[in-house]
């Protein structure tokens, strides 16, 4: 954590010892808006953020939009490869691109400022009437955009370590579960909001202590016993893996399941 991140936040030895014992963070860390703002600034805006599947960025002009630490971003395929930008017009801060699709140029829907696929400003209505106005002074602000296997990530900091350096081992973990990444195709994308602190969501997702009770179908298919279901920290990410139950493979589960036979032998999650 940076010095700014730790101001007014108790990181005493007693707190760290409590965390080692499995106790929760203090309640304030889940309710104080100032802590959330610091996390957005010092965690999410300084990390690689998943933006979409590479399969949706294969042809020139293909683009996807999203957010990185609350910052609107767009990734587009141009003649040099993947290019990422802050998805905010340099004029009145309107979002330039919406959703995902294919476009020959990036044009703001507010005042029609028009950028090429490299982010350079090319056309501005009435610009000839503005003295000393130069299109070259107002390109879209660039960000990092890189693919990791079939996944595309963005980073707001230009000098950040590569996504491969940060998350590269994820590909081997997924492959070892039996998933062939090259054969993955997007099925659908859903977005939803929860009235909860993001740490609460992740903390409950990461442990499978609740799985046998809250997810009986998953429990019937995947062995969630703590000596089998593995949660492993890998520096900047963690993985959760669990083996398919033999009873599920033999069709002897007490709960009706889909056919679990096949090359995929593990449940595999990453955070």
Asked if the structure places residue 179 within a domain, the reply is: no
β partners of residue 243: 266
**pLDDT tens for each residue of 176-201:** 888 888 888 888 888 888 889 999 98
CATH code of residue 149: 2.102.10.10
Quick one: pLDDT at residue 5?
44
Shared domain check, 64 and 38 = no
Mean pLDDT of 128-157: 94
What CA–CA distance (Å, rounded) separates 258 from 143?
43
Inter-CA distances, 136 with 90, 115, 132, 139, Å: 12, 11, 11, 6
Quick one: pLDDT at residue 261?
79
DSSP code per residue over 21-56:
TTPPPPTHHHH-HHHHHHHHHHTGGGS-EEEEEGGG
Residue 4 scores a pLDDT above 50? no
For 147, the domain range is 49-161
Average pLDDT, the chain: 89
Shared domain check, 256 and 215 = yes
Asked if the structure places residue 250 within a domain, the reply is: yes
Residue 82 · residue 152 · CB < 8 Å: yes
Residue 2 scores a pLDDT above 60? no
**pLDDT tens for each residue of 17-39:** 888 888 888 999 999 999 999 99
Question: Residue 150 gets which letter from DSSP?
Answer: T
The number of distinct structural domains making up the chain is: 3
pTM metric for this prediction: 0.86
């Amino acid at each position: 954590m940076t010095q700014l991140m730790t101001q007014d936040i108790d990181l005493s030895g007693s707190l760290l010892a409590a965390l080692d014992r499995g106790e929760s963070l203090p309640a304030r860390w889940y309710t104080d808006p100032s802590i959330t703002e610091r996390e957005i600034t010092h965690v999410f805006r300084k990390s690689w953020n998943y933006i979409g599947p590479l399969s949706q960025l294969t042809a020139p002009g293909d683009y996807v939009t999203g957010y990185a630490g609350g910052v609107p971003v767009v990734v587009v395929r141009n003649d040099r490869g993947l290019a990422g930008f802050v998805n905010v017009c340099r004029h009145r801060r309107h979002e330039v691109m919406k959703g995902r699709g294919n476009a020959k140029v990036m044009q703001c829907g507010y005042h029609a400022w028009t950028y090429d696929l490299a982010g350079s400003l090319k056309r501005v209505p009435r610009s000839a009437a503005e003295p000393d106005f130069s299109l070259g002074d107002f390109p879209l602000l660039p960000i990092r955009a890189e693919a990791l296997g079939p996944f595309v990530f963005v980073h707001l900091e230009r000098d950040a370590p590569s996504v491969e350096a940060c998350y590269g081992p994820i590909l081997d973990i997924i492959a070892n579960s039996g998933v062939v990444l090259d054969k993955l195709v997007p099925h659908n994308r859903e977005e939803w909001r929860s009235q909860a602190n993001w740490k609460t969501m992740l903390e409950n997702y990461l442990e499978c202590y609740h799985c046998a009770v809250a997810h009986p179908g998953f429990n019937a298919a995947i062995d969630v016993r703590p000596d089998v279901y593995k949660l492993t920290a890998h520096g900047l990410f963690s993985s959760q893996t669990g083996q398919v139950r033999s009873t599920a493979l033999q069709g002897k589960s007490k709960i009706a399941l889909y056919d679990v036979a096949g090359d995929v032998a593990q449940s595999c999650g990453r955070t």
